[in-house]
Amino acid sequence: MNSRLLLEYCVYPVTLLFVASMLVGCGQASGDRNESPRPNIVFILADDLGYSDIGAYGSEIETPNLDRLADNGIRFTQMHNTSKCFPSRAVLLTGQYAQRVGMSESPGDFEQAVMFGEVLSGADYTTIFVGKHHSTDNPYEWGFDHYWGLRDGAANYFNPGEQRPGDPGPPAQKQGFYPRIFAFDDSLAEPYTPPEDYYGTDSWTDWALELLGRYEEDPRPFMLYLSYQAPHDPLQAPREDIEKYEGVYDVGYEAIARARYERQRRMGLLDERYPRSKPTHRPWSDLDDSTKADQLRRMQVYAAMIDRLDQNIGRLLDYLEERGELDNTLLMFASDNGASSEVVQIGEGPIGSMTRWASLKEDWANVANTPFRFYKNYSHEGGTATPFIVHWPEVISEGGQIDHSLLHFIDIMPTLVEVSGADYPDEYRGESMHPMEGVSLLPLLKGDSIEREQPLYYEWNSGRAIQTGKWKLVRWEDDWELYDRQTDRTETTNLAEQHPDVVDRLASQWQEWAGEIGVEE
């Protein structure tokens, strides 16, 4: 462990872009790696990132590293998550719907599950997990050779622990959820009080690079799951990144959202099947000066957090490129759910600082999720649709592609299994394992198509949905809504009254799935 990390881990006794990176055996010395037939895997996940929040999906926010991956890879327009942090992460780790592994209601212990750390370890991979987990289990005990990160949910970016001598005041913490637990392999820090130069997005990248560096002479390939918290609240970012966005959002909600949608159409990301949904944000002209200033600051800091996230993804790309491994690296980037309309207000001081925990709120979340309706927690597209970029030049024949295939996080485990040559077990820890729910995406990367035999299902909070190639049936609380996915992927025209037979058929399918998987209505 290097001296900087030793300080971060030991000094204070008060103790996921979804990027799947398939390198050519990055666990070997650089001179030998190109001889390895098996790729390494790096999986990067963002947190609460809106559909239009990066440049490759229409944003004004500077994300040159992600944009570069899109220019040389494939952008998928129809990748879906569960609409909520911890169930989405459970699906990624296990290849199962969250309801099947005990992670659909609260972030507790996994049940009847196997994580991809264990699966790939069985194929002689070194497996590393860094960042946010959001469970009460320690991934180190589930097959990962290393887990360094936030075992729990969101934490303060500058100081998730106790106040330090140089802090400007008490770090804003969520009472009732404090202290947040960090894990460093089999050691738990509760709380974790870091050195004063800590910033979560930067430090977690430091940890990932530190662990990768340990295996540069190891002949085994590796798998890195890098699970960031950004841009989930608290809205906190380094001052220099916040200053970059001074004045950018003065034009207000509608001008930013309209410009994003126009870019999405102009770049060919979206077509006529994606009409822009009706905006739900307030008219900017109706806000008083004080409210405008508050709203501008929130979006300015949120943009800075995404900018900083991209900078750190760039650090990882630089590491891979310097070692001559980037071209044979499968990079997948995604978010665990859509932008959040949740309201959190803790502490004092300016938004963006250590002593203040603030959130984005509904108006800017509507902009962030352009062109979709609703937000995190909803089974509508604003909650479940995520940017999804895949980069692998040695396999993807032509960069800059846009693919509209219907995808879900359940497809990630089958993809990792096929690419790595691993076997998904029938039994683990004395329990029988349900077969993987999804399909491998490898054919899409090779220019072929995939066939999905079953619909996609959703259930979180008051949201419910079922998706097929033709239809999406969705509801929040009581009434089902029906949308034609072939013409209206932004859910603007409810066809439930025109097609009651389709509603009944799909609702019956959803109920059958819910009963089989243990969802209580």
- Per-residue model confidence (pLDDT) at position 282: 98
- CATH number of the domain that residue 52 is part of: 3.40.720.10
- Per-residue model confidence (pLDDT) at position 248: 98
Instruction: For residue 513, give its domain range.
Output: 455-520
Question: DSSP 3-state assignment of 233?
Answer: coil
Residue 511 sits in the same domain as residue 395? no
> Is 345 among the domain residues?
yes
Q: Partners of 357 in the beta sheet?
A: 346
**Domain boundary residue among 411, 435, 453?**
453
Is the pTM of the predicted complex or chain greater than 0.85?
A: yes
Nearest Cα residue to 152 out of 105, 127, 116, 189: 189
- For the chain, residues with pLDDT lower than 70 are 1-37
Q: What is the DSSP string of 50-100?
A: -TT-SGGGT-SS--HHHHHHHHTSEEEEEEE--SSHHHHHHHHHHSS-GGG
> Is 25 among the domain residues?
no
- Per-residue model confidence (pLDDT) at position 493: 98
- CATH number of the domain that residue 502 is part of: 3.30.1120.10
> Is 12 among the domain residues?
no
Long-range residue pairs from 504-513, CB within 8 A, at least 24 positions apart, any chain: 506/455, 506/466, 506/468, 506/471, 506/473, 506/482, 507/466, 507/473, 507/480, 509/455, 509/466, 510/457, 510/464, 510/465, 510/466, 510/473, 513/457, 513/466
Residue 489 sits in the same domain as residue 346? no
Q: Say how far apart CA 424 and CA 368 lie, in whole Å.
A: 37
Q: Say how far apart CA 349 and CA 334 lie, in whole Å.
A: 32
Residue 421 sits in the same domain as residue 475? no
Q: Say how far apart CA 146 and CA 126 lie, in whole Å.
A: 9
Residue 231 preceded by cis peptide, ω within 30: yes
Residue 287 sits in the same domain as residue 309? yes
- Per-residue model confidence (pLDDT) at position 328: 81
- Per-residue model confidence (pLDDT) at position 510: 98
- Per-residue model confidence (pLDDT) at position 37: 62
* 360, burial (CB in 10 Å: exposed 0-12, middle 13-18, buried 19+): buried
User: What's the number of domains the chain is made of?
Assistant: 2
Question: DSSP 3-state assignment of 47?
Answer: coil
Tokens read off for 389: 């970029």
> Is 11 among the domain residues?
no
- Per-residue model confidence (pLDDT) at position 344: 96
- Per-residue model confidence (pLDDT) at position 274: 97
State the virtual CA torsion across 191, 193, 194, 198 in degrees, nearest 10. Answer: 90
> How far from each other are the two terminal CA atoms of the chain, in whole angstroms?
49
**Domain boundary residue among 436, 453, 470?**
453
Catalytic residues: 85, 134
**Domain boundary residue among 453, 480, 508?**
453
Residue 418 sits in the same domain as residue 472? no
- Per-residue model confidence (pLDDT) at position 17: 43
Which run of H or E residues covers position 476?
strand 471-476
- Per-residue model confidence (pLDDT) at position 516: 96
Q: Say how far apart CA 248 and CA 59 lie, in whole Å.
A: 12
> Is 161 among the domain residues?
yes
Q: Say how far apart CA 136 and CA 181 lie, in whole Å.
A: 9
- Per-residue model confidence (pLDDT) at position 219: 86
Tokens read off for 122: 């069985």
Residue 436 sits in the same domain as residue 511? no
Q: What is the DSSP string of 181-222?
A: PEEETTEEESS----TT--HHHHHHHHHHHHHHHTTT-SS-E
